[in-house]
Structure 1
Amino acid sequence: MNRRKNFNQASKLNKLLLSGDFFLVIFSILLVLLATLYPFNFYFPESFSLPEIVASFDNSSFFKDQVNNILLFAPLGFGFASLLQRKRVKAISQFLTVILVSAGLSFTVEALQVFLPSRAPTPADIFNNSIGGFVGLICFYLCNSQSFIYTLIRIENSRASNSIKKLTLFFLGYILITFLMSIAWQSTTTLSNWSLNYPLLIGNEQTGDRPWQGYVSEVDIADRAISKNEVSQVLNHKNYLKPIGNSLLASYQLTGKGSYQDRTGQLPELLSLGQSPDIENEKGIALSSNHWLKTREPVTFLNERIRETSQFTIITTVATADTTQIGPARIISLSGDSLHRNFTLGQQGSNLDLRIRTPMTGANGADTKLSIPGIFADTRPHHIVITYSGATIQVYVDKPQNSYSLNLLELVPKEQRIFYYGLTFIPLGLCLAFLTTLAKRKLTFNRLLLPSGILLPSLILEGILVNDTGKSLSLKNLLLGILFTAGTTLILRWRASMVLRKAAKSGS
């Protein structure tokens, strides 16, 4: 008897090992390891500290990386869902297992990348990989009719389907999820991911490969966005630093030679690097490929204060010596190298270019183009004030009337906007599809639920972003959110009707 029982267990194990879903899981794991760790040139230093490991995660994904990370983990989610379904694991447990396995594998890979000189570990990849596993799970349920029917029957026959109170509570939960996603959108334009370890540089990067030729006479930085009235005082030179008050973090007057002290006493001195010019110029300190400035140590205090407020004001007077410089050539920069920065004011031809690090724009601040034309079309000194608050950048040149306004959310490239809206509204469409299935027996409630569930999320998100980030109301964004929510809901409902009709025919 025991021998037969052991034989049956061994037979089940062999079937599992030989199953297609098992091979898909193994193949997916090997593919992830190969794609994320190759060429496996691990380097383990003799000693390293926890702060160093944490600092090595100070990277952000580019848009293309985010898409690839989701697609890379989708087969893993599909295979695991199939494996768990065959083992008759409950749907909720399947969901949690797939998310935990995806997140666990991703965290392991990112931790190993710390010891790969050719790789850059990124916290955002763990989130994107987990989303990829979830996408694979959903794809399995849509492709597997038996699993889809089983899930539908469980939803339709649940006790909540006969209770208006519970259905209303679920709908309120759906709206709450929308608000939580709106908060996540708001966080994409904060300065919460600013590194504390970057120095202040004038005229170049630390690597010395992005020189700027010109003159800078002053640099003042505050941890809030000053008002337009305060900008007027600044540009009219009427004791211009007085209205900034305690918000002023740094104030450098760049005249003479040698080092330059911060007049607030809060930041380290700026040191001359390279060969300092012998002749002083009334336009300010001369900067070139042979001479630029860098603080003695990182400006941690400044970076931390701005990270906390998610606002800043930068005041400077600059004059280019060459109207054709590109790179962009770095004028003022809070950066670690040419690919990692908190902020950069640069010159790209005659244009003033800005790079600001946010969760949306990435570690290089280059994912969204921020450019103002014609500022460096001449070699005269220009008094420039730059403020940032919410998602809005205001740039004033020489006088308050010469102002330019840019909003990060309005400048997101079209393909990225479609991707981000898909990540936001497709899950909401899934929730609405299951909610309308749950309310199938309550016809009046269901008729109100479907249109309100499609319209409200898009209206809520757009309303919150307009109010909190200063962006303009966008009909295109409203329609895009509605399209993703409605499309996902209707496709799932169509799939459900087709599967149930097929099952009914098979039964008859």
Structure 2
Amino acid sequence: MILVIFSILVVLIATLFPFNFSFPDSLSPQLILASFDNTSSFGDLVNNILLFMPLGFGLTALSQRKMMKLMSVFLIVILISAGLSSIVEFLQVFLPSRTPTPTDIVNNTTGGFVGIICFYLWHSQHFIYIWSRVENSRVGNSITKITLLFSGYILLSFLISILWQNSIELSNWSLNYPLMLGNEQTGNRPWQGYISEMHIADKAIAKSDISRLLNSENDFDTIRNYLIASYQLINNTSYQDRTGQLPELSPQGQLPNIADEKGVALSSSHWLKTRTPATYLNKRIRESSQFTIMTTVATADRVQTGPARILSISSSTLHRNLTLGQQETNLDLRIRTPITGANAADLKFSVPNFFTDTNPHKIVITYSQANIQVYIDKLQNFYSFNLLELVPKEQKIFYYALTFIPLGICLTLLTIRKNKKLSFYRFLLFSGILLPSLIVERILVINTGKSISLKNILLGMFFTGVTMLILRLRASALLKKKP
């Protein structure tokens, strides 16, 4: 009971702190539904599962004292986990610092279920009971049936690879963020410089088209069908989107008294923001998971930090879809994906020594399937990044553990057999450890164009194999103690 109460308190503090609730004057179902238009990042998925695991563990332990059946335990844990998560997500509607997300309810409920599994793996009597049932089952002694189950295990590996593929999509972009040039919506990340044009497409355009864009002035015929925003910012006081699909860019602060051929002058006292959220832009990019940004910029200060915002599609310094900024002489890029988080700051991309002068520079940035290409002034001057190859080592180890430990548990259950043919058993064991890791890596290589990594393959095999080894050693030790 103490663990259950403690777990609930931890959940409430972790999800609702600092409890700065703000209730609107009028509340409608439409407002609540609009507040739930968010998706979780890959890191949020992990955290939400881990957060509810102690609750599932504690509820299962408590139910054992009541001598409840397994199905009843399962239903109680799932209902309580889902109920508590739903209450938390609803309360987050009234917290400015939180974003309620429907998938969080699913992830939290999954965490409660994982807590059940952890209890039965940890509790000696239940562990031996499950081990003996699987070991002596008819399925475990049928080559045909075990082969079918193994095929399902391999299929599970393919399904897990989908999770990795989704981690690089732009499916978690919020529809409600405005487009801003020269600052954040909060007004505390100003950029000193000039922008003469800004064009955004919902497709990663080809190199041949990029070459024409860099070598020609305003030659957009080849990409006109993909343009979702196009602003010319020279000698204008009204900044209308020439495609007619986005709101007008409205001046914020004081109008500058500077007329310059470099473009609109942006500073701490003057920046631009769309009058309403750039919903159409966000929706199109969220659906395609690709984009191209074309702009011409000139800095007025080569040592700006923050990063100072050149372009930002965001609601604050903590929530964004996209940011292009200056960090001293570097050009910084933040892109929101499930793996980079709601602030798009878990992984950062930086082009070094970009702002070494105050001259105008033409930039073309493309994103597609984890690949980021940045072209500066000419086609030969480019930088390339792959999102998955930039994941920090510690974070990657954690993600691989989350992916392959469950597979190790499944493979252990598949290979528990009393009357086993040694050659078949060895084949099952070896292929079961190797194939999932190979499948995940191969699919990521095909879909993202990243380099194949032997380290990643070995890391997946390590977590699958070590999980099996630990479970088998635990079973052997407990069976020896069994009278």
Q: TM-score, normalised by structure 1?
A: 0.89
Give CA-to-partner distance per residue, 1:87-141, whole Å, 9 cap, x none: 5555566456534432332222222232345644344543553454344333322
Q: Which moved more, 1:478-487 or 1:255-264?
A: 255-264
**1:52 aligned onto 2:67:** no
Name the CA distance, whole Å, in 2 between partners of 1:75 and 1:233.
57
Superposition deviation, residue 466 in structure 1: 0.8
**1:230 aligned onto 2:192:** no
Aligned to 1:17: none
Aligned to 2:52: 73
Name the CA distance, whole Å, in 2 between partners of 1:245 and 1:90.
63
Counterpart residue type for residue 98 of structure 1? V
Counterpart residue type for residue 321 of structure 1? A
Counterpart residue type for residue 363 of structure 1? A
Give CA-to-partner distance per residue, 1:409-445, whole Å, 9 cap, x none: 1111222211111111111111111111157634332
Contact 1:439/1:445 (<8 A) preserved? no
Superposition deviation, residue 302 in structure 1: 1.4
The answer for unaligned runs of 5 or more in structure 2 is none
Name the CA distance, whole Å, in 2 between partners of 1:66 and 1:184.
11
Contact 2:180/2:313 (<8 A) preserved? yes
Counterparts in 2 of 1:147 and 1:304: CA distance versus 1, 3 Å:
same
Counterparts in 2 of 1:217 and 1:52: CA distance versus 1, 3 Å:
same
Name the CA distance, whole Å, in 2 between partners of 1:201 and 1:75.
42
Alignment of 1:329-408 (within 5 A): 329-408=308-387
**1:188 aligned onto 2:188:** no
Q: Secondary structure at the match of 1:430?
A: helix
Name the CA distance, whole Å, in 2 between partners of 1:435 and 1:236.
61
**1:247 aligned onto 2:226:** yes
Superposition deviation, residue 497 in structure 1: 1.4
Name the CA distance, whole Å, in 2 between partners of 1:469 and 1:92.
42
Counterparts in 2 of 1:261 and 1:63: CA distance versus 1, 3 Å:
closer
Q: How many matched pairs?
A: 483
Find 2:84's aligned residue among 91, 94, 105.
105
**1:493 aligned onto 2:472:** yes
Aligned to 2:396: 417
Counterpart residue type for residue 462 of structure 1? E
Q: Which moved more, 1:31-40 or 1:163-172?
A: 31-40
Find 1:291's aligned residue among 246, 270, 275.
270
Contact 1:257/1:276 (<8 A) preserved? no
Aligned to 1:16: none
Q: Secondary structure at the match of 2:52?
A: helix
Counterparts in 2 of 1:92 and 1:352: CA distance versus 1, 3 Å:
farther
Contact 1:353/1:371 (<8 A) preserved? yes
Contact 1:85/1:147 (<8 A) preserved? no
Name the CA distance, whole Å, in 2 between partners of 1:303 and 1:363.
14
Give CA-to-partner distance per residue, 1:180-230, whole Å, 9 cap, x none: 111111111111111112221111112211111111111111110011111
**1:272 aligned onto 2:272:** no
> What do you get for the CA RMSD once the two structures are aligned?
2.3
Q: Secondary structure at the match of 2:94?
A: coil
Q: Secondary structure at the match of 2:474?
A: helix
Counterpart residue type for residue 272 of structure 1? P
Q: Secondary structure at the match of 1:337?
A: coil
Q: Secondary structure at the match of 2:394?
A: helix
Aligned to 1:13: none
Give CA-to-partner distance per residue, 1:268-300, whole Å, 9 cap, x none: 222222222223111111111111111222221
Counterparts in 2 of 1:69 and 1:398: CA distance versus 1, 3 Å:
same
Name the CA distance, whole Å, in 2 between partners of 1:438 and 1:103.
36
% identical equivalent positions: 67
Aligned to 2:134: 155
Superposition deviation, residue 66 in structure 1: 6.2
Find 1:262's aligned residue among 223, 241, 261.
241
The answer for unaligned runs of 5 or more in structure 1 is 1-21
Contact 1:331/1:347 (<8 A) preserved? yes
Contact 2:210/2:364 (<8 A) preserved? yes
